Structure 1
Amino acid sequence: MQNISAFKEYLNRPRKVIIVTHFKPDADALGSSLGLAGYLKKKGHQVTVVTPSDYPDFITWMPGNKDVVIFQREKPQKPKQLIAEADTIFCLDFSSLNRINDLGEFVRVSTAKKVLIDHHLEPEQFADFEQWDGTAASTAELVFQLIDELGDKSLIDQDIANCLYAGIMTDTGGFRHSNTTYKVFQIAGELVALGANPSKVSKQIYDTNSIERLRLMGYVLSQKLKVLPEYRTAYIVLTAEELKNFSSQTGDTEGFVNYGLSIKGIKLSVLISDRRENIKLSFRSLGNFSVNDMARKYFDGGGHRNASGGQTKLSLEQTLEKFLSILPEYKEQLLAEEN
């Protein structure tokens, strides 16, 4: 953070803090939020974590989870009042206020000091303080760095360390993605030294499945995964009815898009799913092909070069048709060989 001295001075007195993260939080969003909350509480601040929606069951083990206020489950007055009464709002793991849906306008009009901690590209300029780095692997990594910059690394206990480790582990794909750097391993190592338990965190996130999720995965791989070798592209389309048939819960399709990208020769993988309120798209790519550009240009989304999301208000069939129609535009890039 460029103005770290001013920020440190600002936090020297107790604050009424709200931490907000994006719609359908993943392990990085929730882990960074709960990790930061644990730290700020140790500093004497009154802290509430607010999420726009529910999130996967496999991250509900995180310390502090039981106190999270979920906007979709509350009458709008409660989160609105919490935000109105806050003097400080931390915005974690999203770069634009529209990523927190209806909460975005509450945050925008609030007179509270706003703090952005994020690693997504092209952030909206709304914050008074920013801990932003588009090259960072995760928001949890940036939370760790901020605590360190504030001189408070010694306050990171096992609960905080496990939350932050979970965020780093998942946003690097279990330390497999190209964003896994020496610095990432350094920070992960420090978190382990401070009490994080890699085996426990990995078990909770990667090896805690419902039978319905496993059956959905088998159906997707055997029936729904399509390959377009002429575009080095794989895609999966899931209807609302199919998701209902497998009793799909939030987070059950997490990681499915990566299976397409694991196919030899594939450079782009997309998961398109009907979430009833809208059509959601998850994009993954290899090398220099930017799914961030594709998501921003055509699907009201964005994120990172090799991992982005999008959405449409079109029908599922129209969304698929639109996706297939734009592939010729990217054919040269998709077929280009890289060193």
Structure 2
Amino acid sequence: MFTSSEISEIQKLLTPAHKIVIISHYNPDGDAVGSSLGLKHFLSAKGLEVDVIVPNDFPKFLKWMPGAKQIIIADYKRKQAGEAIYNADVIFILDFNASHRSGNLVGPWLEKARAKKILIDHHQQPDDFDFVYSDVTIPATSQMIYHFIQELKAEDLVNKEIAECLYTGIMTDTGGFRFRSTSATTHRIIANLIEKGADPAMITSNTWDTNTVSRLQLLALILGRIEVIKDGKVAILWLKRDELKNLGFQKGDTEGFVNYGLSIMGTQVSAFFMEDLYDDFIKISFRSKDDVDVNQFSRNHFNGGGHINAAGGKYMKSIEETIEDFKMKIEQEEF
């Protein structure tokens, strides 16, 4: 958490006279959107005007959240996003640890911005900003936003809109409260958010009971050819570009696919490989159990990183070559 003196400095920055912008990472997920909107609604409750900017579009199943329609998508509104960042007095950097994680468009704008920069994030090895609240033991940035509100002694301002957004962020980044980093503190905060108006049944239904036909067809395809190696400890799933196109892929359709590999009895690592829809590289998602560190594995071999049990990567070879390289490298890992 920020020190008491840092909290005092931040409070002085949070005035109606200052222009405030919140930025999340490229390919925003439930925690990125939930934490951003939760913080926006909190700052709005304090009488401040805030813009939320995401580098590119986010899945439809997150667009039910209050305030989602007002998010500035930089890919679609470059001038508006660029001017907001340039003119900002304060920029909150949520759910990512380095400027380049906000993409090739927003990243350079963020680096050049004159604003005071406040990072709140739970990924490893954060870059240096004016104020940094980094804690890799916390399962979601949305939970960190609640702790931040507590430090500001403003829990009384948490309303239904804030509660719904933060609940969604925590729920999605903990895999429905089942990942190892989910703590007793997490559940206490969830209880508080429910008391503030968050409806678990509604949020779960709006977020996860939204399957499209294309998503289910893609899921059927990858589950029908799932491969298990390393004596049953590693599961491999993959999709090619033409398969995505033929089955009418929409953004968010493959969300959570990597977790199916971990549901196989005895697996400790699941890897999901997908050809990018437009460019010649492979998107990779890793998940693991217990102490198997896919963050370091991805950093070492696949140009990525994240958390010990959840990481991403990017590879510039064909999908066949990528999977073969993965098999070779994972066989060398001891677990």
Could you tell me the TM-score, scaled by structure 2's length? 0.95
Once the 2 structures are TM-superposed, how far is the Cα of residue 9 of structure 1 from its aligned partner? 2.3
Residue type of the alignment partner of 1:247: G
Note if 1:313 corresponds to 2:316: yes
Equivalent residue for 1:70?
73
Equivalent residue for 1:274?
275
Distance 1:108 1:92 in 2: 15
Q: Is the 8 A contact 1:15 1:88 kept in 2?
A: yes
The Cα offsets for residues 239-274 of structure 1, whole Å up to 9 and x where unpaired, read as: 111111111111111111111111011111000001
Distance 2:17 2:133 in 1: 20
Identity of aligned residues (%): 41
The Cα offsets for residues 134-167 of structure 1, whole Å up to 9 and x where unpaired, read as: 1101000000111111011111110110000001
Of 262-271 and 5-14, deviating more is 5-14
Distance 1:320 1:97 in 2: 29
Q: Is the 8 A contact 1:235 1:270 kept in 2?
A: yes
Of 37-46 and 27-36, deviating more is 37-46
Note if 1:191 corresponds to 2:185: no
Equivalent residue for 1:138?
140
Equivalent residue for 1:166?
168
1:195-274 to 2 correspondences below 5 Å: 195-223=197-225, 225-230=226-231, 232-274=233-275
Indicate the RMSD between aligned Cα atoms, in angstroms.
1.3
Of 2-11 and 180-189, deviating more is 2-11
Q: Is the 8 A contact 1:162 1:196 kept in 2?
A: yes
Distance 2:312 2:326 in 1: 13
Of 206-215 and 142-151, deviating more is 206-215
Once the 2 structures are TM-superposed, how far is the Cα of residue 48 of structure 1 from its aligned partner? 0.8
Distance 1:61 1:289 in 2: 35
Residue type of the alignment partner of 1:301: G
Residue type of the alignment partner of 1:203: S
Distance 2:16 2:256 in 1: 42
Equivalent residue for 1:326?
329
Structure 2 counterpart of 1:180, from 171, 179, 182: 182
Structure 2 counterpart of 1:290, from 288, 293, 297: 293
Distance 2:318 2:220 in 1: 25
Distance 1:313 1:48 in 2: 35
Could you tell me the TM-score, scaled by structure 1's length? 0.94
Equivalent residue for 1:336?
none
Query: What 5-or-longer segments of structure 1 have no aligned partner?
Result: 334-339
Q: Is the 8 A contact 1:14 1:46 kept in 2?
A: no
Note if 1:111 corresponds to 2:137: no
The Cα offsets for residues 214-237 of structure 1, whole Å up to 9 and x where unpaired, read as: 1211121113x1111436110111
Equivalent residue for 1:300?
303
Distance 1:56 1:13 in 2: 32
Query: What 5-or-longer segments of structure 2 have no aligned partner?
Result: none
Residue type of the alignment partner of 2:256: G
Once the 2 structures are TM-superposed, how far is the Cα of residue 13 of structure 1 from its aligned partner? 4.7
The number of equivalent residue pairs is 329
Equivalent residue for 1:25?
28
Equivalent residue for 2:130?
128
